[in-house]
């Protein structure tokens, strides 16, 4: 603790070992794949079903040692590209008594403890909820649950070992009653985005649903939903979005 009695902030990340694995391991694996490809081009060129047959035959015609050196160099370059992408996607979580900071290469955001009721790790996502059950944060991560739990609890944050609302989720099917107006159309659009692997669209539609009080959990391509305390659902005199569409209103 410092002179004021505060614990020093806690940083949870993959650490230097993770960086070493990515920046040394991936290029080495790429070099190995490149060498193996160069060593087996003659055999691969004789297979009638091999993919990229023209490329394999071209490699087989190259003189040595240029062919082996070239494929190894390409493999190393590919490994470096993968390492760069992995580094950019690393989540670094910094926790203190006042806030949690979440950093990736393309973003840096902070969430105040006073706004957060509970944090937990579910389905390889770090999630923070407010008092109404709305998601303040949902970040994909491979960070260990034990390290995250220790960091949050050490600074007095609420931490749960699993989603405290897991039993409240329901499987979404089209025209399901009980959803806020407009939610069914957004869920239909998001189902199409998931089917087409359009991840940015799916994330944006998740945010739109959160604005009307719908929280989602995905299992494969299936969407499960629950409502927050501030969600406004149709009353007895208010038709659902699906009912309005069928009535032409």
Rounded CA separation 143/128 (Å): 15
Predicted confidence at residue 64, as pLDDT, reads 72
Q: Report the first-to-last Cα separation within the chain, whole angstroms.
A: 63
Predicted confidence at residue 24, as pLDDT, reads 85
**Pairing relation of β-strands 159-160 and 118-122?**
parallel
- Coil, helix or strand at residue 148: helix
- CB under 8 Å to 56, separation ≥6 — which residues? 41, 44, 45, 50
What pTM was computed for the model? 0.72
The stretches of the chain forming alpha helices (DSSP H) are 15-20, 26-45, 53-61, 66-89, 145-154, 183-195, 199-211, 241-247
Predicted confidence at residue 205, as pLDDT, reads 96
C-alpha distances in Å from residue 106, one per residue of 99, 102, 197: 20, 11, 21
CA angle, 38 as apex, 77 and 54 as ends, to 5°?
95
Identify whether the C-beta of residue 120 lies closer than 8 Å to the C-beta of residue 164. Answer: yes
Question: Over the stretch 69-95, which tens digit does the pLDDT of each residue have?
Answer: 878 888 888 888 887 887 777 899 999
* Cis before 65? omega within 30: yes
- Coil, helix or strand at residue 111: strand
**Pairing relation of β-strands 159-160 and 222-227?**
unpaired
Predicted confidence at residue 243, as pLDDT, reads 42
Q: Which segments in the chain show pLDDT lower than 70?
A: 1-6, 41-62, 232-249
Question: Over the stretch 100-109, which tens digit does the pLDDT of each residue have?
Answer: 999 987 789 9
**Pairing relation of β-strands 125-129 and 118-122?**
antiparallel
Predicted confidence at residue 139, as pLDDT, reads 92
């Amino acid at each position: 603790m410092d002179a004021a009695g505060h614990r020093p902030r806690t940083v949870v990340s993959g650490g230097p070992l993770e960086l070493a694995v990515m920046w040394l391991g991936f290029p080495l694996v790429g070099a190995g794949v490149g060498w193996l490809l160069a060593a087996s081009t003659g055999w691969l060129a004789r297979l009638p079903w091999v993919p990229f047959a023209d490329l394999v035959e071209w490699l087989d015609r190259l003189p040595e040692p240029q062919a082996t050196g070239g494929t190894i160099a390409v493999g190393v370059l590919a490994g470096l590209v993968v390492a760069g992408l992995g580094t950019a996607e690393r989540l670094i979580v910094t926790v203190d008594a006042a806030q949690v900071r979440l950093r990736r290469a393309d973003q840096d955001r902070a969430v105040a403890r006073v706004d957060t009721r509970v944090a937990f790790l579910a389905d390889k996502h770090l999630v923070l909820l407010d008092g109404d059950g709305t998601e303040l944060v949902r970040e994909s991560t491979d960070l260990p649950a034990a390290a995250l739990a220790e960091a949050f609890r050490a600074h007095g944050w609420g931490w749960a070992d699993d989603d405290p609302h897991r039993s409240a989720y329901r499987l979404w099917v089209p025209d399901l009653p009980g959803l806020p107006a407009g939610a069914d159309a957004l869920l239909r659009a998001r189902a199409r985005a998931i089917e087409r692997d359009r991840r940015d669209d799916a994330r944006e539609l998740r945010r739109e649903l959160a604005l009307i009080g719908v929280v989602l959990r995905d299992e494969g391509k299936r969407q499960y939903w629950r409502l927050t305390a501030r969600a406004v659902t149709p009353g007895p005199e208010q038709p659902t979005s699906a009912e309005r569409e069928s009535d032409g209103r």
